[in-house]
Each structure stands twice: as C-alpha cells, then as structure tokens.
Amino acid sequence: MPQIESAGIEWRSSGQPVSTRFDDVYFSIDDGLEESRHVFLKHNGLPERFIRLEPDQCFTIVETGFGTGLNFLCSWQSFIQHAPASARLHFISTEKYPLTQPELQKALQLWPELESLSKQLTAAIPVSKTGFHTLSFDQGRIRLTLLLGDMQETLPQLNATVDAWFLDGFAPAKNPGMWQPELYQQMRALSHKATTYSTFTAARAVREGLAEAGFIVQKVPGFGHKRDMICGVLETPASETTETSIPIWLRPKAADTSEKKAIVIGGGLSGTASARALAERGWQVTLLEQKPQLAAGASGNPQGMLYVRLSHDNTVLSRFCEAGYQHAIHRVSQLLADKPERFSLCGVIQLASSDKAQQKQQRLAEAGFPSELLQAMSSDELSELAGISLDKPGLWFPGGGWVHPPAVCNALANHNNITVITDCTVNSLERKENEWLLATTQGKIKAPVVVVASADKACQFSQLAHLPLKPIRGQVSTLPATTESQKLKTVLCGDSYAAPESRNQHTFGATFNFREETPDIRAEDHQENLNQLERLSPSLFEALDARPEKINSGRVGFRCTTPDYLPLVGPVADYAQFEVDFAMLRKNARFPFRQQPNYHEGLYINSGHGSRGLITCLLSGDLLAAMISGEALPLSSDIVSQLHPTRFQSRAMIRNR
C-alpha cells in the first residue's frame, strides 16, 4: 500500500517552515501572504474573475503542492470577499508529504488575518492516507479536495475542468520530479480555452514544457527578491477524446439541462445526501418520501455506527470506504454541531472475534495505515479505552463513533433549495419533452433530472429493473442503560456491534436475513442479538443484565446490497440499447468504442449502500451531485468507474453471459 511520508520540516526562528527533504522554503521569506496574492491570485486574474462569476457558478483551481494551505486560505478569503453570494469555489490540491495537524497549525499562526479560516481548515484536516479527501466549508460554498500521494499518480485520476492552475512545487532544481512534461500535458487535458496558470518560477524547462502543451508563456516581475515569474493562458485546448484508461461505458455523465431542477426519490441517507449536495450546487430539489417522515427505511435506527472495515491490500472497496468514513466524520460534525446529543465521535473498537479475524487485523495493522486512523491494541489497552473489561485484542479507530441517522437525514434536508414532500409514493417514471414525469400518489411531478435513492425499491421502475439490488433484513435491539453499562465509552464491534448509552439506552445488533421481507420485529431476532452481544462482550452483557424481558425496543430495516458490495452511483443507461451498442464486448473487451452508452437522459441512481450507508451515502451524494452538475469529482476516476451503474451489465457481457 502506498505510504504517506512525513513532510520533514525545520522551523526558522521567525516561525517559517523549511523543508529539509527539499532544502527549500514553503513560501517567500519576504512575505508569504503577499507572495501568494501576487503570484497566484493576481496572475490568474483573481479576484476579477471571481467578481464576474455567474450566480451558482463554480470556479475550480488546481494547485500542485498544498504545503501549509496558505494559497488555499488566500483564495478562500478573496473568494468570499469578491464572488457573488451563490458562486462557489472548488480548490483542489495535490500533496505527497502532508503536514501534520500541529505542523499546519504552527505554520498558519504566521497569518493572524486568516485565523478564522485556518482554524476551520486545521480542525477538519483529514488523516493522512493516500487518495482523495474532500472537505466542505461555508455550507458547501467552499470545497477543498486534497489529492494525497505523488502528483504523478493522483493527477491522472482527477476528473475536472480547471479554471486556474497554481504551480507551486518546490523550485524545479530542487524537486525536478514534480516538473515533468506529464504535468503540462495533464494540465492541458483538464483545461478549457480560458484556463490560466501561474507559477513563482521562470525556469526554462518549465517555460518550454508549458509552451509545448499549448500554453502561452508570459514572463512578468516576480515577488520580493525574485526577478521573474511566469503566467499565461491555454491557447489550444485538448480535443474532447483525451486518453484515459477508464472504459467509455464507465465514465461519468453530466446532466444535459440548463434548468437546475431535480427530483430525488427516497428520504433516507442516500436521498437526503444527494438532495443536499445538489441544493448546495444551486439546484432546486424536490425530495419525495413515501412514508410520513424522512429516515423511515434503513436510515431510521436510533444509533448507527460510524465504523469502517478496511483491507490490507488497498482494494477499491477499501479505499472508497476509507474516504467515505473520513468524509462522514467531517460532515456529521458540521451538520450536527448544534445537536451534540445526536452523535459521538467516541472511537470504535473492532474486536477480533476469532483467530482468523485476529490474523486479518494483524495484516491490516502492518499495512501502514496511519495511527490516527487505526491502531492494533491488546485487550488490556482496549479495556482502558472502552471503560469496561474486554477479553479480546483488536483495532482502535480513534475517529469513529455513532450517530442518530434520522438527525443526519433531517439536517441534510434542511436547506432553502430543498422542498420535502412526505406521504408521496412514486409509482412510475416517464421521459416526456426533455423532462421526467413522475406519477405519484400526490399527482404528477416533473423535472429534467431525477435521482432514484429508494434503496432496493429502485428496481420497481422499468428503467432500473435490471439492476442487481437485493434487500437484506436486519433487526437492532435496545436495552436500558444501567450504572455499570454507562461506563462504556466507545463503540464495540466484531461480528455484531454495541453502542455506548444515548438517551438512557444502548443499541446493539444487528441480524442478517436474506430473502425475508417481513417488517415485523421478531423475538427470535432479539434473542440472536443478545447471543451476539454476549459473544462480543461478556462484561457489557452482564453490565446490562441482558435478558429478553429487558429489551425495551427494536427496529427492522432492509439493507440494500449489490453483488460486489459497492453502491450504484451514477447515470442509468438504456439496458436493451446497451446490449445492442456494446455487443462487441462479448467478443472483445478492448474493442475501441467511440460513443458513450445511450443514457436515460437526466436519470441517476444512488443506492446499494449495504451495511455501510452511514459512511458511504454522504460522499456518494456529493459525487453524484458533482457529476450531474459537470463539476470536479471528489473521488479518483478508478473508484468512480467502479461505482458506475453499468458495471454489472458490461461485466456480464464481457464474460459472455
């Protein structure tokens, strides 16, 4: 697994960070803040271009070398001072050697005028692990996507159309690896005709590389003691068919509409997350839920665990879950900031329930995950953290915890651009005159874009009937807290889970029943949860005096799963037409198809979150809204393609089935 190495910082007496790895400064010793404004803002035509943005427009900056985040904070500050209120900034930055949170805090102390922004940044900075990490600030108006890892690997995974490039690696002579021809070609592939760039250096190799990639190169006075710097604009954008390793049938698809109106079907976590992410991008969203309130399906449990199962071999599933986990922690903390009783980031203990599980955990612990993400611990160490005695070793996830999922759904739906209609069942979808016409129990409702987030019920619509979504029944149980049980300070999980007390009760479970559709609470399922609880933690079982007659409530829900355990997030293709247009897949998986599939224009799905919806729905909602809006995607292309709804049909055809 690619590991993140430390930044290697030395501090000057002035408080300036210096990289010992590259023997170079992070910013000018003359005045870093003014340098950032001169080199990167002014010479990309900012803030004038911010002022001229249309309402709801998103401006995308990509930076090479996040460093201390100074350029990001300067851009954020300038954006809120100058851009129209509904315009948005997406700042994307690559970083191979991220600063730790304390290092970032120390470096940013140099700029008191940025204090309110730098505090928000340092509080939200993700655990350093390779991959894409998106943070959102100011109600989604400012987004920061960090591409952690070597830029040469992360940048080709970025799906974005960039408005301005900030080239800020260390000096080319000290860090030649960053200033390679691939960078300039990549820049061209991600740019449009008016895309600009600027950089502090005027090195010849950089000028030549940029010119060769089609950028105009202009030498202008540098900042402070630097004589020259360069900036310019792209003269010849790349043709539309940029080479990518992602098959054409698994690529993202933006909605082809000028009217930003969407309907979301389903008021659970995936529906409310999609609605919110669209609303934050300026869409007027109607959210339809068949039940009288939101979070009436799987998302309605009293306590859901924010925990992640990772694999040592860095699979797409593991990387997606890890990104979703960090994103969910960040978003839940923001969304429920005024409802601290509805969530707790108290940490999660994953107990090794068998020798095999222990070996798996050992492999994971040795795979090089940062200790802020997970640590292997003995039963004694875990008992200390849990506040109760535990008899097994396991993994400690300090960032995880539990949350009240209905509170998250309600907080997500609470946005001026979202209209919630409950008691509204959607019976069918029909495309008519560039719009979707929905037949519902409250009459016809229409919009150019529809997101189906109705879990396995998505398959009731003829356009989605082919998707392999299956329900799995699950029941959770609750027991009243006791003086002894209140000592539990963390979430416990293994083959089942148990949460610390919330509102005087503990939630634990949950059962798994395939092919069973009954929604009734069953005594035998409560018993199964009790048995699991006893295996998970005999001491908690005892502390709760856990007996069937003590169980005070329970709840049944249906997880919605897919065959590869990844959700379906993306556009919906016409199934029959795909069979015809991509028939060659049965003979030759590498056939050079030129055309995208025939999509049901404006129809998207966000479903199939299985047992992990708390960590995957929010990020998937953000991904889907970015895709629909044609904006930069918050996940790497290889992950995005593996979530594409067409993957099962194309895989079956490739296997000639």
Ligand X SMILES: C[S@@+](CC[C@H](N)C(=O)[O-])C[C@H]1O[C@@H](n2cnc3c(N)ncnc32)[C@H](O)[C@@H]1O
Ligand Y SMILES: Cc1cc2nc3c(=O)[nH]c(=O)nc-3n(C[C@H](O)[C@H](O)[C@H](O)COP(=O)(O)OP(=O)(O)OC[C@H]3O[C@@H](n4cnc5c(N)ncnc54)[C@H](O)[C@@H]3O)c2cc1C
Residue number with CB closer to ligand X (71 or 326): 71
Residue 15 region by backbone torsions, left for phi larger than 0, else alpha for psi between -120 and 50, else beta: left
Cβ at position 452, least distance to ligand Y in Å:
9
Q: Which does 209 bind (CB under 5 to 8 A by kind): ligand X, ligand Y, none?
A: none
Q: Is 263 helix (H, G, I), strand (E, B) or coil?
A: strand
Q: Which does 168 bind (CB under 5 to 8 A by kind): ligand Y, ligand X, none?
A: ligand X
Nearest to 402 by CA among 497, 335, 484: 497
Is residue 61 within the footprint of ligand X (CB under 6 A)?
A: no
The rounded distance, in Å, linking the Cα atoms of 90 and 61 is 6
Q: Which does 184 bind (CB under 5 to 8 A by kind): ligand Y, ligand X, none?
A: none
Cβ at position 656, least distance to ligand X in Å:
42
Residue number with CB closer to ligand X (107 or 455): 107
Residue number with CB closer to ligand X (150 or 581): 150
Helices (H), 546-636: 575-581, 613-629
Q: Which does 177 bind (CB under 5 to 8 A by kind): ligand Y, ligand X, none?
A: ligand X
Among residues 175, 389, 527, 539, the one that binds ligand X under rule CB under 6 A: 175
Of 88-96, 205-213, 230-238, 628-636, the window that binds ligand X (rule: CB under 6 A) is 88-96
The rounded distance, in Å, linking the Cα atoms of 401 and 304 is 9
Residue number with CB closer to ligand X (151 or 295): 151
Of 172-180, 188-196, 282-290, 639-647, the window that binds ligand Y (rule: CB under 6 A) is 282-290
Of 126-134, 140-148, 380-388, 611-619, the window that binds ligand Y (rule: CB under 6 A) is 611-619
Is residue 168 within the footprint of ligand X (CB under 6 A)?
A: yes
Q: Is 80 helix (H, G, I), strand (E, B) or coil?
A: helix
**Exposure class string for 210-248: b at 16+ Cβ within 10 A, else e:** beebbbebeeeebbeebeebbbbbbeebbeeeeeeebbe
Q: Which does 435 bind (CB under 5 to 8 A by kind): ligand X, ligand Y, none?
A: none
Residues 543-562 binding ligand Y (CB under 6 A) are: 557-560
Residues 365-394 binding ligand X (CB under 6 A) are: none
Q: Output the CA–CA distances (angstroms, integers) from residue 48 to 52, 84, 93, 141, 612, in the order listed.
A: 6, 12, 22, 18, 44
Q: Which long-range contacts (CB under 8 A, 24 or more apart) does 31-37 make?
A: 31/224, 32/70, 32/110, 32/111, 33/70, 33/74, 33/111, 33/113, 33/114, 34/223, 35/200, 35/223, 35/224, 36/70, 36/71, 36/74, 37/74, 37/78
Q: Which does 97 bind (CB under 5 to 8 A by kind): ligand X, ligand Y, none?
A: ligand X
The rounded distance, in Å, linking the Cα atoms of 491 and 349 is 6
For tokens 């396995």, name the residue: 456
**Is beta strand 505-509 parallel, antiparallel or unpaired with respect to 599-607?**
unpaired
472 phi and psi, to 5 degrees?
A: -125, 120
Is residue 455 within the footprint of ligand Y (CB under 6 A)?
A: yes
The rounded distance, in Å, linking the Cα atoms of 435 and 447 is 5
Among residues 4, 9, 27, 286, the one that binds ligand X under rule CB under 6 A: 27
Is residue 454 within the footprint of ligand Y (CB under 6 A)?
A: yes
Adjacent-strand bridge partners of 525: none
3-state DSSP of 452-471: ECCHHHHHHCHHHCCCCCEE
Residue number with CB closer to ligand Y (7 or 277): 277
Among residues 149, 169, 247, 474, the one that binds ligand Y under rule CB under 6 A: 474
Cβ at position 570, least distance to ligand Y in Å:
15
445 phi and psi, to 5 degrees?
A: -130, 140
Is residue 629 within the footprint of ligand Y (CB under 6 A)?
A: no
Is residue 615 within the footprint of ligand Y (CB under 6 A)?
A: yes
Is residue 322 within the footprint of ligand X (CB under 6 A)?
A: no
Adjacent-strand bridge partners of 128: none
Among residues 142, 288, 479, 498, the one that binds ligand Y under rule CB under 6 A: 288
Q: What angle do CA 341, 346, 351 make, to 5 degrees?
A: 135
Residue number with CB closer to ligand Y (205 or 316): 316
Among residues 41, 53, 61, 70, the one that binds ligand X under rule CB under 6 A: 70
Of 93-101, 142-150, 293-301, 330-338, the window that binds ligand Y (rule: CB under 6 A) is 293-301
Of 50-58, 62-70, 299-307, 595-603, the window that binds ligand X (rule: CB under 6 A) is 62-70
Cβ at position 428, least distance to ligand Y in Å:
9
Of 131-139, 310-318, 329-337, 605-613, the window that binds ligand Y (rule: CB under 6 A) is 605-613
Of 67-75, 134-142, 225-233, 328-336, the window that binds ligand X (rule: CB under 6 A) is 67-75
- What would the DSSP string read from start to end of 498-531? E---BTTEEEEE---EET----S--HHHHHHHHH
The rounded distance, in Å, linking the Cα atoms of 389 and 382 is 8
Adjacent-strand bridge partners of 144: 91, 135
Q: What angle do CA 78, 67, 19 make, to 5 degrees?
A: 140
Is residue 618 within the footprint of ligand Y (CB under 6 A)?
A: no
DSSP 8-state secondary structure symbol assigned to residue 181: H
Is residue 289 within the footprint of ligand Y (CB under 6 A)?
A: yes
Residue number with CB closer to ligand X (26 or 76): 26
Cβ at position 295, least distance to ligand X in Å:
40
Q: What angle do CA 319, 324, 330 make, to 5 degrees?
A: 135
Cβ at position 535, least distance to ligand Y in Å:
17
Among residues 134, 198, 270, 410, the one that binds ligand Y under rule CB under 6 A: 270
Is residue 298 within the footprint of ligand Y (CB under 6 A)?
A: yes
Secondary structure percentages of the chain, helix, strand, coil, to 5? 35, 25, 40
Of 94-102, 340-348, 354-362, 493-501, the window that binds ligand X (rule: CB under 6 A) is 94-102
- What would the DSSP string read from start to end of 547-570? -GGG--EEEEEEEEE-TTS--EEE
Cβ at position 190, least distance to ligand X in Å:
16
Q: Crossing angle of helices 405-413/316-335, nearest 10°?
A: 70
Cβ pair 18, 12 in contact under 8 A: yes
Helices (H), 190-231: 204-212
Residue number with CB closer to ligand X (70 or 349): 70
Cβ at position 177, least distance to ligand X in Å:
5
Give the distance from CA 186 to its chain's centroid. Answer: 23
Among residues 32, 304, 394, 570, the one that binds ligand Y under rule CB under 6 A: 304
- Provide the binding-site residues for ligand X, judged by CB under 6 A: 7, 26-27, 63, 65-71, 94-97, 150-151, 168-170, 175, 177-178
- Provide the binding-site residues for ligand Y, judged by CB under 6 A: 265-271, 288-291, 296-299, 301, 304-305, 425-426, 453-455, 457, 474, 476, 509-510, 557-560, 607, 609-615, 617
